[in-house]
Structure 1
Amino acid sequence: MTEVQNEALQRATGDKLKKFNKIRGKEVQPGQFWDLVVLTAVDEDQKFAYELQIKEKLGRKELPFGLPYHVFADPPGSKIGNGGSTLYALQHLEEMYGKALSAFRVILIHAGGFSQRLPSASALGKIFTAVPCGEPLYQMLELKLAMYVDFPVHMKPGVLVTCADDIELYSIPEGDSIRFDSSGFTALAHPSSLSIGTTHGVFVLESSTKLGDSEMEYTTCQQFLHKPSVEKMQGAGAVCRRPESSKAALEEEFVYTDSTYYMDHATSVTLLNMLKEVQPLTCEIDAYGDFLQALGPGASVEYTSNTSNVTKEESGLVSIRQKIFNRLKGTPLNVILLNNSKFYHIGTTEEYLFHLTQDAFLSRELGLLPNAFSVCDLKAQEPPVACVMHSVLHASTVVSPGSVVEYSRLCAGVTVGEGSIVSGCWVDAWLSVPSQTFLHCLSVTRNGRTKFVTVAFGIKDDLKRSVASPADASALRYFAHGLAECAERWGLPPEGGLRFSGDQAACSLWNARLFPLCPDPRSSVTATLQMVGALREGSAVTPPLKDPRRLSLQEALLNKNLADMLRFRKGLFEDILKEK
């Protein structure tokens, strides 16, 4: 991307943030904003968490007023994916609004899931992940609404579908607008390298398309490929070449990849009618791969039986895909090429750290701050920086470059090493958080009383990797150590020392009962840092961890006390306001 393009992107992003800030905490008029904002949740518990946070946000005037904010939970039972969540959300809206829905412009944000790759978002949701900009502090929900602030005015009734853990930035020609006014589907498309195309959806454009230097172009799509190989992209004609005027600064070959899409009301009715035929859903459906692959004149039913990109192949998936294909076949797929745009994914600990502390481009484009709504002495500087959000830090604390501290209280003399995340913690005086450490404190309810569990993992630890039984726990790596070795360092008994919650056939760091249950947040953080320190220093924990009351992250989330976690944040909020 050239310097001119970067400047245009920065200006356009700043303009959107200013527009959203003008309506933040204000009553919006009909036609000025979305008619409905809808979040999806994985279950009723997550739905309750989202509704509680939205209520608090409205109370603090962090969102526009004058419209409903809905949260819809997936039905209990089988995982249904974001495609299934889309279908059930449409069903809920029809039940609530009936024919009136045909006049509404809806934004549907997929926010379900347990966020195993960014555990700080597991308890309260990745759509409520903090972003270091705005006053009061932005979370991903505000950022999504800000980046799409221009869409509703130029959109026919229908549904805009997007996800909670990505950011799309774009600029378009001055005086122009992105219009969602065509029938069928209309998708945003971003120029990407071929390697990125292998992990996203890729558009095969009509052969008549001639790419120019314009920041935005409207076209139609011949076929949609889902996570294709480079060979498949080349064979299908998805690979594009830059105009001569821009080749000097950019890769010559590229593809257009997906992000957010719109469907008009008639199309949503088509999908809703299909759901009525096949429910209850018993398999995961992808709102991108399974819907968009059915579109365009080049679409083929062959994709319905290709399960190479499916994590777990379930009975009924092929049949459901075929029904989707038959329902949507012939539906247009319009594409808006955003030639000066960027797509950022913030769904893992490593991505979160990089984009908030090291990514100079995103920092400039969004105006990210190293010290956002906090009591802290950090000053603006060039990346890599430390990033502190909604936290209270004693003047003597040290937060190393490349680390993020959010919703936390750090006492005198605390040191946070490089490349770490400290979330929701009260860290006692003179303690040190080692480099490359994820540290997160959760309030839990046990036997009717509030307790605290602080989980810690290495930034690169794989929480999803599982083994068949506790006997194989040595294969699980925790801070680069085998889990059996960790148990020995911690003084746990050789037999039965390592236990796992939930499904014993899938033992992982996610459900390993490692973390002490403590009476207050400060002792909880201290106990867990002692465990991590024993691994880093190669010594045993003294005294040994004899207390059997240890929980896994999975259990902590099942027993989380949301009200208490939000109360802790509110206390920080009030202290920060006093200082300001």
Structure 2
Amino acid sequence: SGPGMGERSAARREDTARRLARFAALRGAGAAARPGELWDVVVLTAADAAQAGAFREQLAEKLRREQLPRAVRYLVCADPPGPRIGNGGSTLHALRCLEEQYGDQWTSFTVLLIHSGGNSQRLPSASALGKIFTALPLGEPVSCTRSCKAPIIQSILEPGCVIGPGSVIEYSRIGPEVSVGKGSIVSGSYINFSVNLPSGCFLSSVSVKMTDRVEYVTMVFGVGDNLKKGVKLMSDIHFLQFFGVSLPECLDLWSLEASDQLFSSEDTHLGLWTARIFPVCSTLSESVRMSLNMLNSVQHKSAFKLSGFQLLSVEEMLTYKDVEDMLKFRKQIYGEICLQKEKSDYRMNGT
């Protein structure tokens, strides 16, 4: 009989580890690749010019940190404005971009084309800076708690905080009096106050710029909430569930009225993605606090008035996102982690 499922799984892990090790050896300025081992050009498609700018900035940062092979050219192509053109139209547009950038020379290139535009309603935390740049719990700076049952990706956790098994913390700063339940996701957030995040909670913060100043909005959902679901009639919004509670019941607790103004979409898609329910705040930590107060009111059926705040939908948060500020926050965390690692290495080496 052939190998069992466990053996095949172990073999795949070993093969993946070998490939990752080989890729790691190809990264950075001093790395050398054999002819034909890498692509000549890697092309990323973006939904619009704003997303393309975010991609270019992140590529530049990864190249600066020597996290990508320098022997490869990287090209970002934004889809033309107007109606969506799909993967087929985006492919044709990318070919045109290649010709504009490299002339006839590109026809001799080995090209990797990655369709990476658009937003993810399944994992909206990946939408702000691009799904293609979603972090994976591999390499540095990654740490784990409780025997790696909770991946902590490029985040700072103060002593005393508790992270439940199966939860993922990425690009965040977690204070000492924070407890995160099982199977939750925290992304791009700063929590510097005492709070217990329930199990199955999705929390993601976004920097926004609607005028000349940066502000902050934090979305919060249950990991089982369906952000893709929508209804056409206002009378049907009771089919929408926020953390297991019907949206009209949540609106009552938040002192919000169910009306056309509640939703940001220009069409008739009424859903959690387009519901204007998240308050705009002046600081990152305050935006987290306000959204967790919203969630707490739903869980405990207690009133929490939102009617006095400017409110955005997830759709609008991504429209007004400030990429520069979000990347600045990530860079600060990355710098602190690297500094902590240097100090730790210094103490271990005793030099």
- Length-normalised TM-score, structure 1: 0.56
* Matched residue type, 1:564: D
Task: Give, in whole Å, the separation in 2 of the partners of 1:445 and 1:57.
Answer: 25
User: 2:16 aligned to 6, 13, 17, which one?
Assistant: 13
Residue 438 of structure 1 corresponds to: 202
User: 2:184 aligned to 409, 417, 420, which one?
Assistant: 420
Residue 124 of structure 1 corresponds to: 129
Residue 563 of structure 1 corresponds to: 324
Indicate if the aligned counterparts of 2:254 and 2:294 stay in contact, CA closer than 8 A: yes
Task: Give, in whole Å, the separation in 2 of the partners of 1:431 and 1:535.
Answer: 16
* Matched residue type, 1:380: S
Residue 133 of structure 1 corresponds to: 138
Indicate if the aligned counterparts of 1:402 and 1:419 stay in contact, CA closer than 8 A: yes
Residue 473 of structure 1 corresponds to: 237
1:293-442 matches, within 5 Å, as 372=142, 374=143, 378-381=145-148, 385-442=149-206
Task: Give, in whole Å, the separation in 1 of the partners of 2:308 and 2:101.
Answer: 50
Of the structure 1 ranges 567-576 and 457-466, higher mean CA displacement relative to structure 2 is found in 457-466
1:41-120 matches, within 5 Å, as 41-120=46-125
Residue 323 of structure 1 corresponds to: none
Pair 1:25 & 2:28 matched: yes
Indicate if the aligned counterparts of 1:35 and 1:104 stay in contact, CA closer than 8 A: yes
Task: Give, in whole Å, the separation in 2 of the partners of 1:5 and 1:472.
Answer: 48
Compute the displacement of 1:397 (Å): 0.6
Residue 308 of structure 1 corresponds to: none
Provide, for residues 48-101 of structure 1, a one-character-per-residue CA deviation record: whole Å limited to 9, x for no partner.
Answer: 111111011111111111331011112222222222222221222123223212
Compute the displacement of 1:446 (Å): 2.1
Indicate if the aligned counterparts of 2:146 and 2:165 stay in contact, CA closer than 8 A: no
Q: CA distance change for structure 1 residues 464 and 11 in 2, over 3 Å: closer, same or farther? A: closer
Indicate if the aligned counterparts of 2:248 and 2:258 stay in contact, CA closer than 8 A: no
Pair 1:539 & 2:302 matched: yes
Task: Give, in whole Å, the separation in 2 of the partners of 1:400 and 1:6.
Answer: 26
Q: CA distance change for structure 1 residues 483 and 7 in 2, over 3 Å: closer, same or farther? A: closer
**4+ residue segments displaced more than 6 Å:** none
Identity of aligned residues (%): 44
Compute the displacement of 1:520 (Å): 0.1
- Length-normalised TM-score, structure 2: 0.90
Task: Give, in whole Å, the separation in 2 of the partners of 1:495 and 1:67.
Answer: 52
Q: CA distance change for structure 1 residues 534 and 498 in 2, over 3 Å: closer, same or farther? A: farther
Compute the displacement of 1:26 (Å): 2.6
Q: CA distance change for structure 1 residues 430 and 498 in 2, over 3 Å: closer, same or farther? A: farther
SS of the equivalent of 1:449 reads: coil
- Unaligned segments of structure 1, at least 5 residues: 138-371
Compute the displacement of 1:391 (Å): 0.3
Q: CA distance change for structure 1 residues 397 and 95 in 2, over 3 Å: closer, same or farther? A: same
Provide, for residues 520-570 of structure 1, a one-character-per-residue CA deviation record: whole Å limited to 9, x for no partner.
Answer: 0000000000000111112222xx223240101111111000000000001
Provide, for residues 214-249 of structure 1, a one-character-per-residue CA deviation record: whole Å limited to 9, x for no partner.
Answer: xxxxxxxxxxxxxxxxxxxxxxxxxxxxxxxxxxxx
Q: CA distance change for structure 1 residues 442 and 504 in 2, over 3 Å: closer, same or farther? A: same
Pair 1:512 & 2:275 matched: yes
- In angstroms, what is the RMSD of aligned CA positions? 1.9
* Matched residue type, 1:503: E
Indicate if the aligned counterparts of 2:170 and 2:187 stay in contact, CA closer than 8 A: yes
1:101-250 matches, within 5 Å, as 101-135=106-140, 137=141
Task: Give, in whole Å, the separation in 2 of the partners of 1:120 and 1:563.
Answer: 16
Indicate if the aligned counterparts of 2:280 and 2:309 stay in contact, CA closer than 8 A: no
1:31-42 matches, within 5 Å, as 31-42=36-47
- Unaligned segments of structure 2, at least 5 residues: 342-351
Residue 310 of structure 2 corresponds to: 549
Residue 247 of structure 2 corresponds to: 483
Task: Give, in whole Å, the separation in 2 of the partners of 1:565 and 1:574.
Answer: 14
Task: Give, in whole Å, the separation in 1 of the partners of 2:310 and 2:171.
Answer: 26
Provide, for residues 430-486 of structure 1, a one-character-per-residue CA deviation record: whole Å limited to 9, x for no partner.
Answer: 112111111000000021110000001111111121122444322221112121110
Compute the displacement of 1:32 (Å): 4.1
Q: CA distance change for structure 1 residues 495 and 455 in 2, over 3 Å: closer, same or farther? A: closer
Pair 1:447 & 2:211 matched: yes
Compute the displacement of 1:495 (Å): 6.2
* Matched residue type, 1:527: M
